[in-house]
Amino acid sequence: MDFASFLIQTLNSLQYGLLLFLVASGLTLVFGIMGIINLAHGSFYMIGAYLAFVLTSATGSLVLAVVLGIPLALAFGAFLEWALFSHLYKRDHLEQVLLTYGLILIFEQLRSLLVGDDVHGVAIPAFLDASIQLTEVMSYPVYRLAISAICIVLAVALYYLIQRTRLGMMIRAGNDDRGMVEALGININMIYRVVFALGVALAALAGMLAAPISSVFPNMGSHVLIISFVIVVIGGIGSVWGALVAALIVGFADTFGKVLVPELSGIVVYVVMAVVLLWRPEGILKKG
Amino acid sequence: MNANASLIPKLVALAIVACVPLSGESFYIEMVGKVLVMAIFAMSLDLLVGFTGLVSFGHAAYFGIAAYAVAILSPEYEAASLWYVLPASVGLSALAAFVIGLFVLRTKGIYFIMVTLAFAQMAYFIFHDTPLGGGSDGKYLNNKPSASIFGWEPFDLTNEVHMFYFVLAVLVLVYLFLARVLQSPFGRVLVGIKSNEHRMQSLGYYTFRYKLGAFTLAGALGGLAGFLYAVLSGFVTPELLSWHESGNVLLMVILGGMGNLAGAIAGAFAFEAMREIFADITKYWQLLMGGVIVAVVLFLPGGLAGVPGRIKRALQGGDAK
What was the ipTM of the complex prediction? 0.81
Give the DSSP H/E element, type plus range, for residue B126.
helix B109-129
Q: What is the pLDDT of residue B306?
A: 66
Contact B49 A281 (CB under 8 A): no
**Residue of A34, A270, A275 to mutate, testing the B interface (most B Cβ within 10 Å of its Cβ):** A270
Greater pLDDT, B208 or A189 = B208
Q: What is the pLDDT of residues B272-285, one digit of tens each?
A: 998 888 888 878 88
Inter-CA distances, A163 with A157, A167, B41, Å: 10, 9, 48
Q: If DSSP codes are grouped into helix, strand and coil, which group holds residue B286?
A: helix
A interface with B, Cβ–Cβ below 8 Å? 31, 35, 37, 84, 87-88, 91, 93-95, 97-99, 101-106, 108-110, 112-113, 222, 226, 229-230, 232-233, 237, 263-267, 270-271, 273-274, 277-278, 281-282
Q: What is the pLDDT of residue A3?
A: 84
Domain ranges of chain B: 25-241
**pLDDT, average across residues B262-266:** 91
- For residues A15 and A144, the answer to whether their CB atoms sit within 8 Å is yes
**Residue of A97, A113, A224, A287 to mutate, testing the B interface (most B Cβ within 10 Å of its Cβ):** A97
- Tell me how far apart the alpha carbons of residues B289 and B281 are, in angstroms, rounded to a whole number: 12
Inter-CA distances, B313 with B259, B309, B316, B321, Å: 22, 6, 5, 9
Phi, psi of A134 (to 5 degrees): -95, -50
Question: In sequence order, what are the residues at sequence separation of 6 or more whose Cβ sits closer than 8 angstroms to the Cβ of residue B10?
Answer: B262
| Total-model pTM | 0.87
The partner residue sitting opposite B290, judged by closest CB among A93, A94, A102, is: A102
Q: What is the pLDDT of residues A103-118, one digit of tens each?
A: 999 999 999 999 888 8
- How many C-beta atoms surround the C-beta of residue B156 within 10 A? 15
Instruction: Read off the pLDDT band of B303 (50, 70, 90).
Output: low
Q: If DSSP codes are grouped into helix, strand and coil, which group holds residue A6?
A: helix
Strands annotated E in B131-281:
139-140, 235-236
User: Residue A282 pLDDT more than 80?
Assistant: no
- For residues A196 and A78, the answer to whether their CB atoms sit within 8 Å is yes
